[in-house]
Structure 1
C-alpha cells in the first residue's frame, strides 16, 4: 500500500465514526445522546481537538478547532443552534473527504499518463511534433483552432457520458446508460439490404444473470470489405470477455444495446480504457472520431503539470479549489463525478475571476478619467418636462433618477445599467437623463438595435421634447443621403441636441460637438467594443445602458461588473395584469370569436409567428401563411396587416402607423415587434408555436399588450401534445413578474441563451454553470477586489498583468470584453 493510500485510509477512518455519531444525533433531534463511554458532545470535542497526527491544512485545523469549542458548550445551545452546528460539521467533514479523494485521484491520474511524456515536448510545442500526428491530422486540428499542446489541453469537452453505472444484464432498464461486463455468445456481421454502404454487426452477450443483443452500425465503403468483416470476426470470438457501455433501448424483440462503446478485456483485465468511466465528448468534425481525440489528449495531458497557475498556493487553499494542473487533467479524463465537479468549479472560477479583474481595472481606469471641466447649467428643461407630463414618476423611478443625478454630478463619468420590466417606464428615465445633460449644454445619443425601435423612440422624444424646443434627429441605415448630410453637419455644429439611431451611430462620419451622454436600449444586443466606439465620440461620456430582460443581481455582477446597477421594481399605477392562457390548436375557433368581440369593442390584436414563410425543415406556422388564412377566411370584415423583417423600412413604417391609427385591427407579425411598438389600444396577443420561444422572449412579446388601463389577454398556442403541461409556459401563465420569469428562464435555458451571450467568448461550461454558482461568483468578485486593493497596478502579479493588461492572452475574457 502506498503512503498516499495509507494517508487516505487514516483520514477516512477518522471521519467515518464522526459522521456516524453526527447522523445519530440528528436522528434523535439533537438531544446530546449518551454512547457507550461518553456523551455525544464530549466525543466530538475530543475528536476535533486532537488533530496532530492528521497533517491537515491550516484551514481545516482552524475550522475543527472552532467546532470543538462549540461542542464543549453544546449543553448551553438551543435546538436550532445545535442543529446548525451538526450540519456545518457534517459539511466540513464531507468536504475534507472529497478533497482527499481528489488529491489521490489526481496523483494517480498523473502517474498513469506520465509514461506518455516526451522530454523533447513542452506546453508550447507545435502539435506536429507529437508522435502519430501527420499532415492530415494536423490540418484537422488547426481547423479547430489547435496549433500547440496548450491549445489542445484548452479544448474542453462539450459534455460527458457517465458510464460508471455498472450493472448485471438482468437489471438493465431501457433509456438509461449502463456498463456491463459480459462474455460473447454469438457474433454476426452483414451488409444492410436497404443501404449498400451500411454494415450491421450483432453480438449476443451473457453474464451469470441473463443475455442481451448488442448492435453496431458501420457506415461507409471501407466497412463493407471482406477484410473488415474478417478483422471484426477475429476480434469478437465467442467466449471473449468484453465491456459494453451505452444506452439500453427497448424494441419489439426486447432490450438491446444500440451503438455502444465496446472494449475487449485482454486476459480478463477489467481496468478498461473508456467503458465503465466518464467519457468526454468533444465538438469535432465528422472526419475526427471522439475516441481518436481522447487518445490524443492522453498523450499530452501530462503537460498540464507545466500549466502556469494564476492563483498562489495560499489562494488555492483559502478558496478550497483544485490546482489548475489537476483541474485540467480531470476536465478531460475525470476519474469520478466529484473530480469533474471540482475541476469545473476551478475552471469556472478562473474565468469569473479574470472577468472581475478586468471589470475592476476598467472601473479604476474610468475613475481616473475625472474631468476638470465643469458644465454650468445653461438651460432649464428637466423641471419643465416633469411638470408637463400627465403622470407622476413611481417611487422606484424617482430612486433611479436620484442615483443618476448623483452620478452625473460626480467628476467621474457615469456607467450604469438600468433594469426594468416591460412597461415599467425606462424610456422616461432615459429622457430625464438626457435632459440633465442638455441642461449642461452637451449632446445626447440614444442607440437601439432595430429601426422599428429607433422610430418608436424618435416619435416619443418628439412628442415629449418638441414643446421644450429640444432638437431631436433620427439616423439609421435607411436615412436618405441628403437628410444624413444635413444631420451630420448640424450634429457637428451642436445644433442637434439628441441623436437617435441604430448601428449607424458608430460610423466615423458621425461627429458630435460635445457628447455628454449615451443611452443604449436593449443593451445586451451590443458588444462592449460597439459601446466603447460610441462613448469615445465624447470626452468622459456618461453611459446609461437599459434592458427589459431582468437579470438576477448576482449574474448581472458577473456579466456587467464594470457597471453600477439600478432597478425599476414597480409598474406605473393603473396597469391591469395581463391574463395569460395556454391553448391548443383545437381551441382556435373559440379564440377567434373572442378576438372578433374585442375588435367590435374597438380593440386590436397581435398574432405572432416564429417564421416568415413555411419551411420544409420545420413543422411550424408562418406569418405569410397565417396572414393569408386570417384575412381571407376568418376576419373578412376586419383589416389584417402583415409585418416581418424582410419588409424595407418604409413598408414597415406604413404597417406600424396603420396599426397605431387603428386602421389595421389585427397585426400578423414575426418577433420583429418584440421591442419598440407601443399601441395602448391593443388588448390581445396570440403567439403560435409558443413552445418554440424562450420564456423571456414570450414575456417581451406579451408586453406589447396591457399598456393601457383595460384588461388584456395573451394566448399561447401550442402544437405540442404535452403543451398544456409545458413547464416553461406554465411559468408565464402563473406570473407577470419579469424578474421571476427571468430567474425561471435562467434555470431552464441558462444565461447564454437568455442573454444572447453564446457568442460572447465565455466557454459554454462557464455560462451554463453561472446560475448554480452564485457563491463562486461572489468569491471571484471578492478575490478580485482583494487583489486590486493589495496590488492596484498588478506589479506583484506578473501573470495577471500579462493576461489582463499587456497582451490579453486569455481568449475567453479578451473576446468577451473587447
Structure 2
C-alpha cells in the first residue's frame, strides 16, 4: 500500500509542476502587459510573489532548481532594476518555464496519415470512361455513352459487346472461361490484399500490407548491372516518425533508356508528398516497400486518382496476357447487371 501511494505521488508531481508553471506564466504575462511596472496584486507585489515562488518550486523541477534560485534572487532586486532589464528578466523566465512545460508534457505520437479517396469505382461510368482517356466535351460524351451501355447490360451479354472491353480483351478473358457478363460477375476472388491500413513508418511491421503518406527525400532510377533488362527505381521516403525505402522494378529494354528513367524521377521530385501501398519487408538496410503502388499528391488532401492505394483489392486467378488491374476494371464494368440477377438467398435469409 505504501509503495502504491508513493507511485501515485510520483505520478502527481508532473501535474503539480504544470499547474505551478501555469500560475507563474499567468503572473508573468500580466506583468508584461502592464509594462513591467511591478504590479501590485491582492496580497503582494509581482516581484515578491516571483521571489518566493521560485524558491519553492515543485520537486519535478529539480533539474533546473539552480536556475530558478538565480532568477529568484534577481526578482529580489526587481524594484531597483531598470525597465529594460526587467523586460529581459521576465522574457528569460517565461522561456525557461515554457521549455520545462514542454518537457513535462511528452509529445503525443502522431496519428495515422489521412487520405482523401476519389469517387468510388462502383460508379461504372467513371471506371469505363477511364479506359478511354478523353478531355472536355469528349470526356462527357464518353461518360454518357458508358452510362447507356451499363444500363443495357444483362448477365447474358457477351463480353465482346460490353462497352469499354472490346474483342481483344474479351478474347483474353475467354481463356479463363469467361464469355458473358454473368460469367465475369461469378468469377470470385481467391484472396484480398488490404491496403486500407494507413500507418506511420514507425508502426510498419514486416510481412503486412499497409499504406503510408510521406515526403520524398531522394529518387534514383538505374539499370541493374547484373541484368540489362531490369530497371530499378528507389525512393527514400520520410514522415514524422522515420524513413522508408521504396523499390520498384521494370522489366524490358525500353525502361533502360536514360530519358525514361529521368522522366520517372521527375514524377517524384524531392519534397513531393507520395502515397505508397505495398508489402512491408525487412532488409539489411531496414524496412522497405517492395514494388508498391505509388501516387504523387500535388497538395495535402488531394483526392487519390489510384483505384488501388488505400483500398482492399480483390486478387483473382489470372491467365497470360491479363493483368490484375485489367481484370478488376473488367469486373467493375459489368457490376450494373447485378441489378438484374436474381438473389439466390431466400427473403428470410437476406
TM class, shorter-length? 0.5 to 0.7
Q: Offset at 1:191?
A: 0.7
Tell me if 1:299 matches 2:328: no
Q: Offset at 1:245?
A: 1.4
| Partner in structure 1 of residue 223 of structure 2 | 191
Paired residues for 1:30-41 under 5 Å? none
Secondary structure class of the residue paired with 2:332: helix
| Partner in structure 1 of residue 5 of structure 2 | none
Q: Is the 8 A contact 1:185 1:205 kept in 2?
A: yes
Segments of 4+ in structure 1 off by > 4 A?
A: 108-111, 114-117
Q: Is the 8 A contact 1:198 1:218 kept in 2?
A: yes
From 300, 310, 317, give the equivalent of 1:276: 310
Q: Kindly tell me: are residues 236 and 169 of structure 1, through their superposed partners in 2, closer, same or farther at Cα, counting changes over 3 Å?
A: same
Counterpart CA distance in 2 for 1:228 and 1:304 is 42
Q: Offset at 1:163?
A: 1.6
Tell me if 1:122 matches 2:170: no
Counterpart CA distance in 2 for 1:270 and 1:182 is 16
Gaps of 5+ in 1: 1-107, 322-818
| Partner in structure 2 of residue 309 of structure 1 | 343
Secondary structure class of the residue paired with 1:302: helix
Q: Kindly tell me: are residues 292 and 239 of structure 1, through their superposed partners in 2, closer, same or farther at Cα, counting changes over 3 Å?
A: farther
Q: Kindly tell me: are residues 170 and 299 of structure 1, through their superposed partners in 2, closer, same or farther at Cα, counting changes over 3 Å?
A: same
| Partner in structure 1 of residue 247 of structure 2 | 215
Q: For 1:587-614, what per-residue CA distance to the aligned partner results, in whole angstroms no more than 9, with x for missing partners?
A: xxxxxxxxxxxxxxxxxxxxxxxxxxxx
Counterpart CA distance in 2 for 1:267 and 1:130 is 37
Secondary structure class of the residue paired with 1:119: helix
Q: Kindly tell me: are residues 250 and 145 of structure 1, through their superposed partners in 2, closer, same or farther at Cα, counting changes over 3 Å?
A: same
Counterpart CA distance in 1 for 2:160 and 2:215 is 40
Paired residues for 1:339-378 under 5 Å? none
Tell me if 1:237 matches 2:269: yes
Counterpart CA distance in 1 for 2:295 and 2:320 is 22
Counterpart CA distance in 2 for 1:207 and 1:270 is 19
Q: Offset at 1:141?
A: 0.9
Counterpart CA distance in 2 for 1:111 and 1:287 is 25
Aligned-CA RMSD value: 2.5
| Partner in structure 2 of residue 153 of structure 1 | 185
Q: Offset at 1:207?
A: 1.5
Q: Kindly tell me: are residues 110 and 179 of structure 1, through their superposed partners in 2, closer, same or farther at Cα, counting changes over 3 Å?
A: closer
Structure showing greater relative contact order (alpha-carbon pairs closer than 8 Å, 6 or more residues apart): 2
Q: Is the 8 A contact 1:169 1:207 kept in 2?
A: yes
Paired residues for 1:598-609 under 5 Å? none
Q: Offset at 1:309?
A: 2.1
Q: Offset at 1:197?
A: 1.0
Q: Offset at 1:194?
A: 0.7
Tell me if 1:204 matches 2:233: no
Q: Is the 8 A contact 1:110 1:302 kept in 2?
A: no
From 270, 284, 307, give the equivalent of 1:252: 284
Counterpart CA distance in 1 for 2:291 and 2:189 is 21
From 135, 143, 165, give the equivalent of 2:175: 143
Counterpart CA distance in 2 for 1:247 and 1:127 is 33
Output the TM-score relative to the length of structure 2: 0.54
Q: Offset at 1:181?
A: 1.2
Q: Kindly tell me: are residues 145 and 241 of structure 1, through their superposed partners in 2, closer, same or farther at Cα, counting changes over 3 Å?
A: same
| Partner in structure 1 of residue 322 of structure 2 | 288
Q: Offset at 1:129?
A: 2.8
Q: Is the 8 A contact 2:159 2:180 kept in 1?
A: yes
Q: Is the 8 A contact 1:114 1:302 kept in 2?
A: no
Gaps of 5+ in 2: 1-118, 129-145
Q: Kindly tell me: are residues 276 and 251 of structure 1, through their superposed partners in 2, closer, same or farther at Cα, counting changes over 3 Å?
A: same
Counterpart CA distance in 1 for 2:207 and 2:286 is 13
Give the length in aligned residue pairs. Answer: 209
Q: Offset at 1:267?
A: 4.0
Secondary structure class of the residue paired with 1:280: strand
Q: For 1:722-772, what per-residue CA distance to the aligned partner results, in whole angstroms no more than 9, with x for missing partners?
A: xxxxxxxxxxxxxxxxxxxxxxxxxxxxxxxxxxxxxxxxxxxxxxxxxxx
Q: For 1:588-646, what per-residue CA distance to the aligned partner results, in whole angstroms no more than 9, with x for missing partners?
A: xxxxxxxxxxxxxxxxxxxxxxxxxxxxxxxxxxxxxxxxxxxxxxxxxxxxxxxxxxx
Secondary structure class of the residue paired with 2:174: helix
Q: Offset at 1:254?
A: 1.2
Secondary structure class of the residue paired with 1:170: helix
Q: For 1:671-703, what per-residue CA distance to the aligned partner results, in whole angstroms no more than 9, with x for missing partners?
A: xxxxxxxxxxxxxxxxxxxxxxxxxxxxxxxxx
Counterpart CA distance in 1 for 2:208 and 2:147 is 40
